[in-house]
Amino acid sequence: MTHEELEEAVPLYAAGALERPERQALETHLLSGCVSCHTALKEYQAVAAVLPFGLQSTPPPRTLKAKIMAARTAPVMEDAATEQQASRPSLEPGEWMNHLFPPESSTSIWSLRWGLGIAALGLLVAGASLAWNSYTAMTDSTAKLQALQTASQEQAAKLASIQQQIREREQTIDRLKAETDQQRTEAMALKEQLIQRDAELEDLRLQLVTRSSPPQAAHAPEAELAALLHQSTAVRTISLNGSEKAKGAAGFLLYDARTHKLWLYSINLPTCPKGMHYQIWAMQEKPVSMGSFHNHGGETAHRFITHHPNLSTVKRFTISLEPSGERSAPTGPIYLTSQS
């Protein structure tokens, strides 16, 4: 039933006009806590409660009160039997109000035979009640024990979960610690390399100072620098001499064996004509281009050569003037060349 249907059934419920299934459905709805239906029911129940005021007033027999007051203290044999009866009338109006009072079944028409039977049934039920109480007490204890076990299991599960979280965090800390150690080691290595480079530079600087005084006027600057670099065992110097096209030009290649890096320094090369550039060659079985550069004027030029073959296989190095665009072999005039 929808809420609207249930709400419409409230006045019929208060008047006692619902069938049992409808009544039970509404009572279930009321017990679910529907405030609007509960409020409506209280109002209709109040209407039903005052309807008897519309009757002709008739006082009860005078002796009835005395009988009730006397019967009040009499032992009640039928209570247990009455409450245990499962069979109820098909219609019990006002169950919402009457829910605490299971209906009796025609107590007024009990015969003596039925009375005795019910009394016996009462004794039987009393015995059963005693047994039931014992059983329920045991059941309660069992239920409490089960509840405690369940609570204990839940706590154990929570503890295991917390322990797992702690293990995961410990693993994370270990991993971070290892990463930190590795970074520290790398930093130390870099620092050592830096110290070594500083020492080499300092050594070179001292040699330069030593060579610079007294001045040696007979040597060209490039020759002095090449001679200076020759002092370093880690750097190989390859001198380049000017050809007939550039008699005043010179140059050298610096090769660092530790880093495998190659630099070109040139001096007094003529300015490149428009559309032309200098191309560097490693002469092996076949010429290998190591790149090109422009010289736009100035006495010196230098270039870092990123691609070069194994220097042990190179017979000599040359620099030629070529039209723009890569060539696979020298086609223009040679300006600088090394000794074989």
Task: Using CB under 8 A, list all residues that contact another protein.
Answer: 8, 11-12, 14-19, 42-62, 64-65, 67-69, 71-72, 76, 79, 89-98, 100-101, 103-109
CA distance 130 to 124: 10
62-66's contacts with Cβ under 8 Å and 24+ in sequence apart are: none
- Give the nearest distance from C-beta 40 to another protein in angstroms: 9
What does residue 207 show for φ and ψ, rounded to 5 degrees? -65, -40
Q: How far is the CB of 69 from another protein (least distance, A)?
A: 7
Q: Cβ 131 to another protein, closest distance in Å? A: 24
- CB closer to another protein out of 14 and 321: 14
- Under DSSP, the state recorded for 10 is H
CB closer to another protein out of 19 and 299: 19
* Closer of 88 and 219 to another protein (Cβ): 88
**What residue type is assigned to position 230 of the chain?**
H
Which residue number, 14 or 240, has a Cβ lying nearer to another protein? 14
Query: Which burial class, exposed, middle or buried, applies to 269 when counting CB atoms under 10 A from its CB (0-12, 13-18, 19+)?
Result: buried
Among residues 269, 263, 255, 256, which one has the least CA distance to residue 303? Answer: 263
**Tokens matching residue 286:** 């076949």
For residue 145, give both structure tokens. 């024990």
> In the complex with another protein, which residue's Cβ is closer, 68 or 157?
68
For residues 245 and 337, give the distance between their C-alpha atoms in angstroms, rounded to a whole number: 11
CB of 165 vs another protein, minimal distance in Å = 48
* Minimum distance, C-beta of residue 121 to another protein, in the bound complex (Å): 18
